[in-house]
Structure 1
């Protein structure tokens, strides 16, 4: 199974909220669920999946290794803990969530440990998240580009992340776009709104379709059933070249970046 193009993001969703979101998503047809150790919701997601009628082999579940667990001796035990919380024997995708702050743990050490976890059958695929071009170069040197299933990065119409996207494309590395709706900013954009009106779609669907047409997977987050259902239909929207160009012109550069935590974010490209 490849990475499904539309997934359900669970950042900042906890407790009954994430249980309900995942349960509703699975009912509506989502088969790609994205979480992370730092989200503190793996147990709830595991419970929601276990309570659903969806067979495990139809699901694609991703978690991300937190920075405290990137050292070679810590990574696999932390991944086993995630599997226990998720009530699973194997993940579909395990990612390095952020490069080690200050490069305290070399990329090669973390990627080689993740590769070993893959060999042990703890995860089907491995990859990275929030990796810059330099970090991707180090990851490629460590395990080869073919081993890196995706780089999950912030991408939306205001932050197309073109340098990273171009580098990844040249090396055959897939991209997953997180925050693809720019935390709701696309909903009130007049350019996106006009395109949506022409297609009989919502602005959210248009923003997602923009990423999908570029070959990215998207993992929007929502707790509302109507939005969850609507987001799934983004794959059916065929944007024209003119639409793509108009949305591409909305790029605002580094100031549009949403996920940029002090002490954690690398030096972006």
Structure 2
């Protein structure tokens, strides 16, 4: 609403970019167990920092309306890292047609990201109440090879089918436009609009669902069209009624008589 009228419609594909990353991370951290022991086979290992950097780079380069994409873990939720926070953020260094990208760890900036409004808002909503009933259930029937040669397929031993829970588009949130900058001029100086959505995983016991972090997508504010037409009073649009259309015109009729 307000200055972001219709942002959920005009920039829906950019929001779904964040949702796709959230679904991938949620399914991985709920299904993959590196401690599983399969005969003659190895289980998948945890995601590394290099792999997550590759994910945000690929996402940022896939849409010219996107300034940057980031994955931001809550404190201690990313196990393969030496620091308590990890937030890889890839952004376009130039304009929207630039092919130059930069990747930083947002946790290493002077102010970090744990106190940013988009992170605090989603953490306050989901960290204490990651209820399965509010999320969408996804399931898969996983088959694996019975041997190296793949002579037969067998059911996954640890549960068949497997389930994971992920958010929908409505569980994320758009945040007001901001002029992005940082004290050391690391971040791109752009007017942006931000969409953020949480992702989830299993806790240390592998039983309950917990909040793992936030996926954030920043889009160029210049791609958001404003609507200046007249609208009802209950429509939250800061620009409504600011058009210069002449709704009251005067028509003069001339009658000619012979």
TM-score by length of 2: 0.26
Hey, which of these two has a bigger chunk of strand by percent?
A: 2
Higher RCO (CA-CA < 8 Å; seq separation 6+): 2
TM-score by length of 1: 0.25
Structure showing greater radius of gyration is: 2
Hey, which of these two has a bigger chunk of helix by percent?
A: 1
